[in-house]
């Protein structure tokens, strides 16, 4: 599959990742909740993971990292891919988000972004928690995370692995039960490739699957992951964008969400309202956004 679609801007990416593929081992109405932390399943850490002492150069010291976020950074194994979305290996979430490795080793990993609309065609947004290592307290789409290097989330057919991961993380981050977001209701629209620094130490370099779903759901946000959530209609989102651009209220958006908003979202919103999302599907191309 070729990476054929390109939007304006300089290319930020160079050589493909060369790790070998190993065997499996305001007027917005917010929701607020303070649930207890759910237990995470243990995932075997990669043998190539670096110790904090060797990798902590700039940014917040590893010792100051929130305990839950720290554990996930070392236990979660992200899927490494090349720029054509071919799996080339796996690596810890920690190493995948170090800008030093992103720049020097061109480390690129799979991700997904869920755009969830209710039956009134309002879009669910979340504000990332203050303890998130990358982009804390920014507003973004309903759920943004990574499929893990496990069999159920590596299934390429119809992006089933990605959809399985999205269902898992919607429960973990927003407390949305699996029955509210059936795997077969996610529509993968396209893929984007982008790179964005968060601070001097951390950043993102992702091949991101954009999943759309229209469902009324019950949400019970996990405060370790999410600071706040709210639904917005088109005009409310445009007002949020205006405030972000004007620097009002300290509001910020995640870089991937802003890229999707600026390039795709409003025309896709038309398809959501008309029930014609399938017409917008483009899984053949990977859009390199800058």
Q: What is the rounded CA–CA span in Å between residue 8 and residue 18?
A: 27
Q: What is the rounded distance in angstroms from the CA atom of residue 68 to the CA atom of residue 284?
A: 37
Check if 157 is active-site.
no
The answer to whether the beta carbons of residues 218 and 182 sit under 8 Å apart is no
What count of residues does the chain have? 290
Q: Which of 148, 286, 132 is nearest to 202 (CA)?
A: 132
Spatial CA neighbour of 73 closest among 109, 105, 103: 109
Residue 203 near residue 196 (C-beta atoms within 8 A): yes
Active site annotation includes 96: no
Structural contact between residues 165 and 147, judged by C-beta atoms closer than 8 angstroms: yes
17, 144, 173, 225: which is the annotated catalytic residue?
Answer: 144
Q: Which of 77, 91, 173, 206 is catalytic?
A: 206
- In 3D space, the residue among 1, 289, 19, 233 whose CA is nearest the CA of residue 117 turns out to be 233
The answer to whether residues 143 and 114 touch, using CB atoms and an 8 Å cutoff, is yes
Strands (E), 132-202: 139-141, 143-145, 187-197
Q: Which two tokens stand for residue 153?
A: 């989330």
| Radius of gyration (C-alpha) of the chain in whole angstroms | 18
Give the up-direction half-sphere exposure of residue 257: CA atoms within 13 A in the CB hemisphere. 25
Residues sharing a CB contact under 8 Å with residue 258, sequence separation 6 or more, in sequence order: none
Catalytic residues: 144, 206
């Amino acid at each position: 599959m070729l990476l054929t679609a390109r939007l304006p801007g300089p290319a930020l990416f160079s050589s493909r990742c060369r790790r070998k593929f190993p065997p499996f081992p305001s007027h917005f109405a917010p929701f607020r909740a303070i649930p207890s932390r759910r237990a995470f399943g243990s995932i075997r850490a990669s043998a190539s993971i670096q110790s904090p002492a060797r990798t902590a150069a700039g940014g917040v010291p590893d010792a100051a990292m929130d305990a839950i976020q720290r554990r996930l950074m070392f236990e979660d194994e992200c899927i490494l891919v090349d720029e054509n979305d071919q799996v080339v290996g796996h690596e810890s979430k920690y190493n995948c988000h170090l800008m030093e490795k992103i720049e020097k080793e061109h480390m690129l990993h799979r991700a997904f972004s869920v755009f969830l609309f209710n039956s009134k065609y309002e879009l669910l947004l979340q504000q990332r928690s203050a303890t998130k290592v990358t982009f804390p307290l920014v507003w973004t789409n309903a759920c943004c995370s990574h499929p893990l290097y496990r069999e159920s989330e590596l299934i390429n057919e119809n992006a089933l692995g990605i959809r399985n991961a999205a269902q898992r993380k919607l429960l973990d981050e927003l407390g949305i039960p699996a029955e509210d977001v059936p795997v077969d209701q996610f529509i993968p629209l396209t893929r984007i490739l982008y790179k964005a620094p968060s601070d001097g130490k951390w950043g993102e370099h992702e091949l991101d699957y954009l999943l759309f779903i229209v469902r009324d759901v019950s949400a019970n946000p996990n405060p370790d992951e999410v600071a706040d959530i709210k639904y917005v209609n088109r005009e409310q989102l445009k007002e949020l964008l205006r405030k972000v651009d004007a620097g009002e209220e300290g509001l910020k958006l995640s870089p991937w969400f802003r890229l999707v908003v600026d390039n795709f979202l409003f025309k896709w919103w038309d398809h959501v309202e008309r029930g014609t999302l399938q017409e917008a599907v483009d899984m053949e191309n990977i859009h390199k956004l800058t």
